[in-house]
Chains A and B, each alone.
Chain A
Amino acid sequence: EIVLTQSPATLSLSPGERATLSCRASQSVSTYLGWYQQKFGQVPRLLIFDASNRAPGIPARFSGSGSGTDFTLTISSLEPEDSAVYYCQQRSMWPLTFGGGTKLEIK
């Protein structure tokens, strides 16, 4: 099973700042990695698929990069509504796995 490790566990930033979230895979997943946002009490939402492709309707301030084992989700200029838990997910092999999440708090 591919283990995804996300860091940091919690991130606290102010509106307008840049957020950088990391996801590391226990073995190469090529670019088969996505990112999901889950706001408190809500359903997860797809942000990025295959490392760097924004899902339809996702604002341009969200971007993804990486390949192999190291990936990054960047939010270029934080908005208050970006407060959420962010999960990475690999689709390189079954079982599909998610990271443990990064909680992003907006001050």
Chain B
Amino acid sequence: EVQLVESGGGLVQPGGSLRLSCAASGFTFGSYWMHWVRQAPGKGLECVARIKIDGSSTTYADSVKGRFTISRDNAKNTLYLQMNSLRAEDTAVYYCTRGMLYLEDVFDIWGQGAMVTVAS
């Protein structure tokens, strides 16, 4: 079964850091672009970051540029999101998503999400 499972969410103070992980299974992880998409409580969806199949290229939303880092370990079938200098407005469910094969910016598989709450 194709699956993405996020972990690492939680409560963190403003200015703090958190690292999310996303474990992939059931497919050849190293053949797909991967993304992080977030959803603030009761709000819509926002693309946060994406990474190329070999990790050689990354792209970020302006709202997180310079604070968040997306990375991957294809040997471990795992995607990461390092989040630094967290702000209240970063509070959201963070979804790990897979880009469809040859259509890398179409999200065909989603994880169950990891809740990140930034509050004092």
What is the interface of chain A, defined by CB distance below 8 A to chain B?
32, 34, 36, 43-46, 49-50, 55, 87, 89, 91, 94-101
Contact = CB atoms under 8 A, between A and B. Distances in A.
B75 interface: no
A27 B23 CA distance: 36
Nearest to A95: B61
Contacts of A96: 47, 50, 105
A50 B108 CA distance: 13
B44 A99 contact: yes
A40 to B, nearest CB: 12
A36 B39 CA distance: 14
Contacts of A34: 106
A46 B61 contact: no
Nearest to B95: A43
Closest 4 CB pairs of A and B: A91-B105, A96-B47, A98-B45, A49-B106
A87 to B, nearest CB: 6
B110 interface: yes
Nearest to A96: B47
B112 interface: yes
A44 B62 contact: no
B93 to A, nearest CB: 9
B108 A55 contact: yes
Given A43-B110, A49-B106, A87 B44 contact: yes
Given A36-B45, A49-B106, 20 more contacts: A34-B106, A43-B113, A44-B45, A44-B95, A45-B110, A46-B100, A46-B106, A46-B107, A49-B103, A55-B108, A87-B44, A89-B45, A91-B103, A91-B105, A91-B106, A94-B59, A95-B47, A95-B61, A96-B47, A98-B47
